[in-house]
Structure 1
């Protein structure tokens, strides 16, 4: 599987570090391509894949218990539990690789995070449905720092009120997406399924649990 890492690195190094503020109403979303360089991204992917305590959680969908279509893990400060989709997660303690990633994001953004949700999308069949990161414990205007390693995946937004407003971006190997302000009030986002992808992706969303 990790032979794919050389391809990700090659694609990642084709362009210089870039930042882009997405043109979305009622939102503050900034995309940093190649936030982590190719070699570092490859190393972090392997460490996260091999050392994270992955689990496939159960949730309730249309009254039936089903497995989430991805693997997840929750890490953070000892008192920072998190509930979503009828799932309550207690944090594992921070690992060296997570502290490393967190420290780089905090140094750059000047924002402190006390928890992180990790998702492992094993291939294109794994996904996450439309949702907003607006749980009460995230506060009024959550700040989310979303880091991606591995295969590129489509990340799509849709406005909650003006349904015709939507936006799509490719989250690439080593990228960082910052969502701030009223983004979660007005927008939902998803990772849709695709039959074209067989390689895995790891996503980390750093958060501030109040």
Structure 2
């Protein structure tokens, strides 16, 4: 599996997810600067967490206009897998690769803790190693993780089974408890929790490891 991690000014989880991918695949992923638009042949593109461009304007809004995003959109349309975590999820919504928006947490406070999630389905390359309705615990670390979409969009997401993960204690006010969702082809996943932070026993948990194992199995 050939993977790449996109690096923006103020990305701060790019090395974390690169380490998780290295452990899963046995090879380091390519680290692509956001200003580059000439991507190599890839099976997986990851947009990591952090505070791209310092979250000026809106979280992910400026990163969504970086040169590399046009190429990521084109690759996604071709079926290449794209994973956006935390700020990466924000970038995916701001760029139109996923519907809806991530707004300020309902508490108006930054939240950093482990939260319980329910895996809503296993019929994707990202979740095939989990069990249906499995409860997992992943860490969150965000100030703008409150997922919002209009009623018609929510109805479509729910009806088409595009919700990937759902909060069991909704820490940020997200509509329908949405913690992560797919595009309609299920090759793009955006999620606020961080699977890379619990992908090795040395990190205290491996609840995120099945995601990386599933991707290797599907894309190798």
TM-score band by shorter chain is under 0.3
Higher radius of gyration, 1 or 2: 1
More helix by share: 2
TM-score norm. by structure 1 comes to: 0.26
Greater relative contact order, per chain length (Cα 8 Å cut-off, separation 6+)? 1
Higher strand proportion: 1
* TM-score, scaled to structure 2: 0.25
